[in-house]
Amino acid sequence: MIAPLGTIDAALANARSLIDSAPQLAADQATEILRVAPGNPAATLLLGVALHRTQHMAESLQVLQALSQQQPQWAIAHYELGLALASAGRGEDAVAALRRAVAIKPDLGAAWLALGDHLTAMGESVGADAAYAEHIRHSSQDPRLLAAGSALCENRVPEAERVLREHLKVQPTDVAAIRMLAEVAARLGRYGDAENLLARCLELAPGFRAARHNYAVVLHRQSKSGEALTELRTLLRDEPRNPGYRFLHAALLARIGDYEDSLQVYADVLADYPNQAKVWMSYGHALKTVGRERESIDAYRKTIELAPTFGEVYWSLANLKTFRFTPTEVDAMRAQLANARLDHEDRFHLHFTLGKACEDDGRYRESFDHYAEGNRLRRVSLGYDAAETTEHLRRSKALFTPEFFAVRAGWGATAPDPIFIVGLPRSGSTLIEQILSSHSLVEGTMELPDVQGIARELGGRRLRSEPSKYPEVLAEMTAAQLQVLGERYLQQTRIQRKTPSPFFIDKMPNNLAHIGLIHLMLPNAKIIDARRHPLGCCFSAFKQHFARGQGFSYSLADVGHYYRDYVELMAHFDRVLPGRVHRVFYEDMIDDTEGEVRRLLAYCGLDFEEGCLHFHRNERAVRTASSQQVRQPIYRDAVEQWRNYDSWLDPLKRALGPVLERYPQAP
- What 96-103 contacts at long range (C-beta under 8 Å, 24+ apart), as own/partner pairs, is 97/68, 100/68, 100/75, 101/75, 101/76, 102/75, 102/134
Please check the confidence at residue 645 and state whether its pLDDT lies above 90: yes
Q: With contact defined as beta carbons under 8 Å apart, do 451 and 474 qualify?
A: no
In the predicted model, is pLDDT for residue 620 greater than 70?
no
pLDDT score, position 99 = 95
DSSP state of 324: -
Q: What is the pLDDT of residues 257-272, one digit of tens each?
A: 898 999 999 999 999 9
Environment class of residue 199 by beta-carbon count within 10 Å: exposed (0-12), middle (13-18) or buried (19+)? middle
**Terminal Cα distance for the chain, rounded:** 96
User: What pLDDT digit, counting tens, does each position of 23-39 carry?
Assistant: 899 889 889 889 988 99
Report CA 592 to chain centroid distance, whole Å.
37
pLDDT at 6: 52
E-state strands within 413-557? 418-423, 442-446, 503-506, 526-531
493 near 448, Cβ under 8 Å?
yes
Cβ–Cβ contacts within 10 Å for residue 637, how many?
8
What DSSP letter does each residue of 429-466 carry, written as one string? HHHHHHHHHTSTTEEEEE---HHHHHHHHHHT-SSTTS
Say what the pLDDT of residue 631 is: 46
* Peptide linkage before 418 cis (omega within 30 of 0): no
Alpha helices in 274-339 (DSSP H): 277-289, 293-306, 311-318, 327-337
Average pLDDT over residues 266-284: 92
pLDDT tier at 636, thresholds 50, 70, 90: low
> Residue 19 is which amino acid?
I
Task: Indicate the helix (H) or strand (E) that contains 144.
Answer: helix 143-153
pLDDT digits (tens, 9 = 90+) for 363-399: 999 999 999 999 999 998 888 899 999 999 999 999 9
What mean pLDDT do residues 604-611 have? Answer: 95
Number of neighbouring beta carbons within 10 Å of residue 111: 30
The sign of the torsion formed by the CA atoms of 338, 344, 350, 351 equals: positive
Q: Which string of b and e fits 593-605 if b means at least 16 CB within 10 Å?
A: beebbebbbebbe
| Predicted pLDDT at 628 | 47
pLDDT confidence tier of residue 109, bands split at 50, 70 and 90: confident
Confidence tier at 113 by pLDDT (50, 70, 90): confident
**Exposure of 185 by Cβ count < 10 A (0-12 exposed, 13-18 middle, 19+ buried)?**
buried
Helix (H) or strand (E) holding 24: helix 23-36
Which domains, ranges and CATH numbers included, belong to the chain? 8-241 (1.25.40.10), 386-461+468-662 (3.40.50.300)
Q: Which has more pLDDT, 522 or 123?
A: 522
Q: What is the mean pLDDT of residues 338-360?
A: 96
pLDDT for 622 equals 52
From CA 426, how far away is CA 413, in angstroms rounded?
A: 31
Task: Please give the helix or strand (H or E) that residue 610 lies within, else none.
Answer: none
| Position 1 pLDDT exceeds 80 | no
How far is the C-alpha of 61 from the C-alpha of 47, rounded, in Å? 11
3-state helix, strand, coil in the chain (%, to 5): 70, 5, 30
- Over residues 401-412, the mean pLDDT reads 97
